[in-house]
Structure 1
Amino acid sequence: MKTAVLAFSAALFAPGAYSWGLVGHATVGYVAQHYLDGAAKILTSHLLDGVPLANVASWADSFRYTDAGAFSAHLHYIDAHDQVPNKCGVKLERDCPPEGCIVTAIANYWIEVLTGRPVTQTSRILDDKLSKEERANALKFVVHFLGDITQPLHTENLDVGGNTITVTWGGNDAASKTNLHAVWDTKIVETLAGGSTLAAADTLSKSIITDIESGIYKDQKESWTSCGSIKRGTGCPKAWAQDANQFVCTNVLVDGADAVRGQDVSGAYYEKNVPIARQQLAKGGYRLGLWLNAIAKAEQKKC
């Protein structure tokens, strides 16, 4: 999704379309909300006027299509120029352009085009010199990007992150035609959640939280945040991108793009990959909660 294909990408990501979908991002938000400590609850509630994280989790996808938000379009992904399906991997120096990518956006080092100066989103959340709206927007970026980076095709360059891999969902007629990126963004998650609403996301998040607390994710969750702290710059975001990218080779395109191109992926493909999508949503929500706790802790140290 480099400059040469930005126009094409913009056509594919029409206004109103969402990475991970409304349900996916809201699920991440609901899970994160559960793990906020007292300080983070106070900070996020203040900046968002009491609006839950789930309700603002897709804001960045709409904002990118406004004149004010156009600068942020390339911050939703990183294009791994790897060798799918034989070898997957993210290399920051190779895959993240000077203008930034999702790894540097989460690490908070990118250029704000309106001022031409380096800024950090985390710093902007905590910057009392900024307006409340500016700080709230920085928070909403962080909420969104920690969801985006768990979607495997947001970490892959091949076929514009799967956007040019035409597939069908639930049939072989024109109405069923979609692309693999959209399948991962919306079809898999909405089918898993049983709907396309915030209520469906809330229900899904509750089952995920149960699994984090006492189920299949209980013994995994510690490894999800083992990369370190927010002070490590690109350390954690790069590790998270690498984690998501591995699934491009092991699951998303295990036999290459041609193996799924033109196929109905609502059956066996869905059944194989829905556990991965659910796990990635769990990772995003759990990481986001702890990330916001760390930001709020930094806020307290200012006092």
Structure 2
Amino acid sequence: MKASTFLAPLLLTTGVYSWGPMGHATVAYIAQHYLDGAARILTSHLLSGASLPDIASWADSYRYTDGGAFSQVFHYIDAHDQVPHKCNIKMERDCPPEGCIVTAIANYTERILNDDLSFSERADALKFVIHFIGDVQQPLHTENLAVGGNEITVFWGNESVKTNLHAAWDRNIPETLAGGSTIATSASFANSIIQDLETGIYSNLKKDWTSCGSIKRGIGCPKAWAQDANKIVCSDVLPNGVEEVQNKDISGAYYERNKMIARQQIAKGGYRLGLWLNKIAKAEQLKCRA
């Protein structure tokens, strides 16, 4: 999903903000539920008392400021693979020298723990990590094809709403499933997902979602998460190629086929983020005791 001077205005006018504010707040609410005591203290301190959902979409707004333009490329990785025949991530091929979401998660994780940085720099690093761990779960944030789906025109609801495939995954699918687009909606949506993480359909899956959980591995875990999401482009997002969805209404059978995929990716994002922040807080404690 290459950033360009052409695409930036398009993204602003169509409101394409990765999962959208509702989706990102849902990820943050889930993560907040899984924070241990040390992580709650650390995040509250660095966020000056704000909650994770309060700042979950900060990085989307920041990238359109003069000072934040550099961060555009950190919201995605462009997999130059062969959809729908072969989906994969290759860092040397897909992540440019200026960085991508995989390297950004690793870098900003390190910056949270860097005492040589200012308080505001460490706070911004935390905001980036909260957002990017949500972004990397969205399959089209790990795909180059058609600018991450932004150039695949689709309709939502009997061709009454023209949009694109990326925006449909960002907003239409999760917001339709959640029943709205407000922050209040995200809280109730998160609660239903947390129930499934605790005792429902995700309870036996969540351990595998965090099998890669060491912040000491650098890009290891972020790359694994990107690989996980990228596979879904071939298996579920575009299993029959672009022609299946191009200029089609996808609010019917396509939505029904993919709504639980989107929900599960949001669940992964929230659970992974919560445990990742716990590990950062633990590393901060160990650093202070050294």
Same fold flag (TM > 0.5): yes
Q: Contact conserved, 2:16 with 2:167, CA < 8 A, in 1?
A: no
Equivalent residues of 1:17, 1:61 under 8 A apart:
no
Q: Distance in 1 between matches of 2:43 and 2:167?
A: 30
Residue 167 of structure 1 aligns to a residue whose secondary structure is strand
Equivalent pairs counted in the alignment come to: 287
Which letter maps to 1:131? Answer: S
Shift in alpha-carbon separation, 1:54–1:265, aligned structure 2, 3 A:
same
State the Cα distance separating 1:258 from its structure 2 match.
Answer: 1.2
Q: How does 1:18-33 map to 2 (within 5 A)?
A: 18-33=17-32
Contact 1:228-1:235 within 8 A present in 2 as well: no
Q: For 1:168, which of 155, 174, 198 is the aligned residue?
A: 155
Asked if 1:281 corresponds to 2:266, the answer is yes
Structure 1 residues 262 and 17: alpha-carbon distance in aligned structure 2, compared to 1, 3 A threshold = closer
Report deviation, 1:49.
1.9
Structure 1 unaligned spans of 5+: 109-120
Q: Give the Cα–Cα distance (whole angstroms) in 1 for the partners of residues 18 and 252 of structure 2.
A: 22
Q: 1:148 aligned to 2:135? A: yes
Q: Residues 154 and 161 of structure 1 are in contact (CA less than 8 Å); yes or no, is this contact kept in structure 2? A: yes
Q: Quote the offset at 1:125 in angstroms.
A: 1.6
Matched, 1:126 2:113: yes
In the alignment, structure 2 segments of 5+ residues that lack a partner are: none
Give the root-mean-square deviation of aligned CA atoms: 1.2
1:289: Cα distance to partner?
A: 0.4
Partner residue, 1:70:
69
Task: Tell me whether 1:137 sits opposite 2:129 in the alignment.
Answer: no
Q: Is the 8 A contact 2:88 2:230 kept in 1?
A: yes
- Report the Cα offset of residue 234 of structure 1: 1.1
Query: What is the TM-score when the length of structure 2 is the normalising length?
Result: 0.96
1:56-78 alpha-carbon deviations (Å, 9 max, x no partner):
11000000000110000000000
What is the distance in 2 between the residues matched to 1:90 and 1:131?
34
Matched, 1:91 2:90: yes
Q: Distance between the aligned counterparts of 1:218 and 1:122, measured in 2?
A: 27
Match of 1:137, SS state, is helix
1:153, distance to aligned residue in structure 2 (A): 0.2
* 1:228 Cα deviation from its structure 2 partner: 3.8
Shift of 1:55: 1.2
Is the counterpart of residue 195 in structure 1 residue 180 in structure 2? yes
Q: Distance in 2 between matches of 1:12 and 1:80?
A: 22
Provide the residue aligned with 1:179 in structure 2. Answer: 164
The CA distance in 2 between the partners of 1:208 and 1:20, in whole Å, is 16
State the alpha-carbon separation in 2 of the partners of residues 157 and 122 from structure 1: 25
TM-score, normalization by structure 1: 0.92
Rounded Cα–Cα distance in structure 2 between residues aligned with 1:249 and 1:197 = 31
Shift of 1:6: 1.2
